[in-house]
Amino acid sequence: MKVDFKRRYCRKLFTWKELETLINIRPLMTTERVNIPSHEGQYRWDNNCWTNDPNCYPSSLLKMLIENNICYLDDMSTCTEKINSFAEKLERQYKLPVDAHIYICRNPKLSHPFGTHFDYNNNVIVQCEGKTNFKVWNEVKDKSQRQDNMTVKEDPVWDVDMNPGDAIWIPKYYPHLATSKTKRLSVSFPLKATSTLIVKRSWVKL
């Protein structure tokens, strides 16, 4: 994968309204799926007598956490038909298994919890709502160095403001920084570099 950026590459991939539907399906909102990197608090809540999985955030608590933190939902590559199709397209192209991470920032004054960082997997990121500035630097030489909150002295090779529908390709080991300019909703598609096991995708229609 090479660093690349394309305007209006994938329009209307995912919307605030679709996110609203997902987060109100409580069984989906497990403590394993909802990731809040900057938050260290622990919460307890009462569960309905019908609850099968007690480790699912109640909607009122989840709303508070989303409004006050940058967070993401993982294992979401089949959460909508469009996201599933986009992930399948990437799997066919790169021959690697793909996931989808839904990133949410409702307060642009918040700093990204990872700061400037690099990933161990290639990523394709689609801006869905709002505007986000992305800076990308050249590949790190020392792969064993600290992965997040890095200090990079050189100028970025890419510095772009992403609007809804725009997409950026970021290879593994390339430091990057996402800065929300407005309320932000985006989907990151990581490609697992250490596995070639691709499970056949399907979308059930009744």
Token pair for residue 20?
């609203």
Rounded to two decimals, what is the model's pTM? Answer: 0.92
Along the 206 residues of the chain, how does pLDDT read in single tens digits?
999 999 999 999 999 999 999 999 999 999 999 999 877 667 889 998 999 999 999 988 999 999 999 999 999 999 999 999 999 999 999 999 999 999 999 999 988 888 899 999 999 999 999 999 999 999 998 888 778 888 888 999 999 999 999 999 999 999 999 999 999 999 999 999 888 889 898 999 99
Residue 173 in tokens? 């080991």
Residue ranges of domains in the chain, CATH in brackets: 4-30+57-191 (2.60.120.650)
3-class state of residue 66 by DSSP = helix
**With 0-12 CB in 10 A as exposed, 13-18 as middle and 19+ as buried, what is 13?**
buried
**Tokens 């920084």 — which residue?**
177
Do 126 and 189 form a contact (C-beta atoms < 8 A)? yes
Are the C-beta atoms of residues 37 and 113 closer than 8 Å to each other?
Answer: yes
